[in-house]
Amino acid sequence: MKIKLSDLKVLFSEEQIQNRIKELASEMNKFYSGEEVYVICVLKGAVMFATDLVKYLDMPLKMEFIRLSSYGSSTTTSGKVNAVDIKLPDLNEKNVLIVEDIVDTGLTAKFLLDFIACNFKTKSTKFASLLDKKIFRQTDIEPDYMGFHIDDKFVIGYGLDYDGYFRNLKYIAYADKSLLE
Ligand code: 5GP
């Protein structure tokens, strides 16, 4: 591991993240108004966001966890999405809320939205992402719910990793690009 905790600069504090999640949850509570929802958490990065978000949702919900990967151990996307584990229940006629950590190129989100559209006739499909990094976008994906915009930074913490590390941070941070190369 090249990066140390002391190299990281805080981008969004624990308090900022939690406050924003509460705001997003309140928008979702209004939209679903008590209807049942299937929350699909995209592992591993979205685990913190999804588990904090559901604490503030007040409709009946079920959580599903799927695993996709596009990064490996580098800090740039491979451009290919691998469905590592995408077993899902029958989502026909269900409200589906996909929960992601970050939309970067948008390829992961597109893969998943296409997968759901091809396999199920859902009642609704919404896509929530804690972070939105538009600069490298290769698709026309726009999250329905979005926590924060970020510019050209590789972010770490609160579920997001650097080579598998730092997912446990309560905040989101970044390191200077020179340290990532
Ligand atoms: P996309 O398919 O939109 O390019 O990328 C989606 C996935 O790439 C995210 O779910 C996340 O796992 C990873 N990713 C994209 N940008 C970053 C970043 O700045 N930091 C980290 N740790 N992962 C990222």
Domains contained in the chain, CATH given = 14-150 (3.40.50.2020)
Return the residue whose CA atom lies nearest to atom 15 of ligand 1. 104
CA–CA gap between residue 123 and residue 38 (Å, rounded): 11
How far is the centre of ligand 1, averaged over its atoms, from the C-alpha of 102 (Å)? Answer: 6
Residue 1 pLDDT: 63
Q: What is the predicted pLDDT for the residue at 71?
A: 57
Closest residue by Cα to atom 19, ligand 1, is 154
Distance 141 CA to ligand 1 centre (A): 14
pLDDT recorded at residue 180? 79
Q: Which residue has the tokens 């609160």?
A: 158
**The pLDDT of residue 6:** 92
pTM of the model: 0.93
Compute, in angstroms, the gap from residue 103 CA to the centroid of ligand 1.
6
Q: How far apart are CA 153 and CA 101, in angstroms?
A: 14
Q: Tell me whether residue 104 is one of the annotated catalytic residues.
A: yes
Type of residue found at 61: L
Locate 119 and state its tokens: 């396999």
For residue 125, what pLDDT is reported? 98
* Helix, strand or coil, per DSSP, at residue 124: strand
Can you give the pLDDT at residue 127?
98
The three-state secondary structure class of 15 is helix
Contact 76, 135 (CB under 8 A): no
Alpha-carbon gap, residue 156 to 173, rounded angstroms: 5
Ligand 1 atom nearest to 108, measured from its CA:
2
CB-based pocket (< 6 A), ligand 1: 45, 70-71, 77, 100-109, 133, 154-156, 160-161
Q: For ligand 1, atom 5, which residue shows the shortest CA distance? A: 104
Instruction: Tell me, in angstroms, the distance from the centre of ligand 1 to residue 10's CA.
Output: 18
> Is the omega angle on the peptide bond into residue 44 within 30 degrees of 0, that is, cis?
yes
Q: Among residues 104, 132, 151, 163, which one is catalytic?
A: 104
Those residues with Cβ within 8 angstroms of residue 121's Cβ, 6 or more apart along the chain or in another chain: 92, 93
Q: Give the number of the atom of ligand 1 that is nearest the alpha carbon of residue 160.
A: 22
Q: Which of ligand 1's atoms lies nearest the C-alpha of 156?
A: 22
User: In the chain, which residues have pLDDT < 50?
Assistant: none
Residue 26 pLDDT: 98
